[in-house]
Amino acid sequence: MAFLVLDIGGVFYRGWPAEDFWPAWSARTGLSRAAMEDFLAAAPEAREARLGRISAATYYARAGGRLQADPGALQSLAEAAFLSDFNQPLADWVGAIRRRGVPVSALTNSLSSEAQLKARPALAGLFDHVITSCDAGCAKPDPEIFRALLARLAAEPAEVVFADDDIRHVEAARSLGLSGVHFQATKTAVAELEGRLGLA
């Protein structure tokens, strides 16, 4: 049996905001684009939260203090950045192949736990398991999170087809023996995944 494992950010949601995002949110928060990009991706608080070492609330509070910004506004900024443009066609396809008996799980670098992600209405019912960096204490492309995935699935690497929008994560999966697909566009990715899963 083949197991399908999908990333969430950049696959089910957009991976990074478009150009028009930054001026609009700069006006709302009073932060520069550089400060917002740092907050979203490069700040030490972000890494600590993604690894489950601090809570999301602590992340927003600490970043707010450092940036002199309202923590609630920073949370809204992060949600607008990463929880927009939901990929409904992909979700519909996942639902269809699950009905055909394909096990589908997610592997994601996220501040959110498995329970929190499964509770999102858009993601409800899509995954058997959600392995998150927050829960695992390690993040892609660290091999340890892929090992945690394999243990959770009770699967051998060759049994897993993994898709991610970040080629570094795909290459890390391939180095461990998983079948990796670089997700760039839904239609082409679905065609490749169906081939790898033997559904084509």
Q: Do residues 82 and 18 make contact, with C-beta atoms less than 8 angstroms apart? A: no
* Residue range(s) of every CATH 3.40.50.1000 domain in the chain: 3-14+85-197
Mean pLDDT of the chain: 95
SS3 176: coil
b/e map of 108-144 (b: 16 or more CB within 10 Å)? bbbbbebebbbeeeebeebbebbbbbbbbebbbbbee
Helix, strand counts (H, E) of the chain: 11, 5
The CATH class for the domain spanning 21-82 reads: mainly alpha
State the pLDDT confidence band at 67, using cuts at 50, 70 and 90. Answer: very high
Beta-strand runs (E) in 43-146:
104-108, 130-132
Ramachandran quadrant class, 82 (left: phi over 0; alpha: psi -120 to 50; beta: rest): alpha
Confidence (pLDDT) at 44:
86
Confidence (pLDDT) at 48:
93
Confidence (pLDDT) at 137:
97
Fold of 3-14+85-197: Rossmann fold (3.40.50)
* Residue range(s) of every CATH 1.10.150 domain in the chain: 21-82
Q: Considering the chain, what percentage of its residues have pLDDT values greater than 70?
A: 99
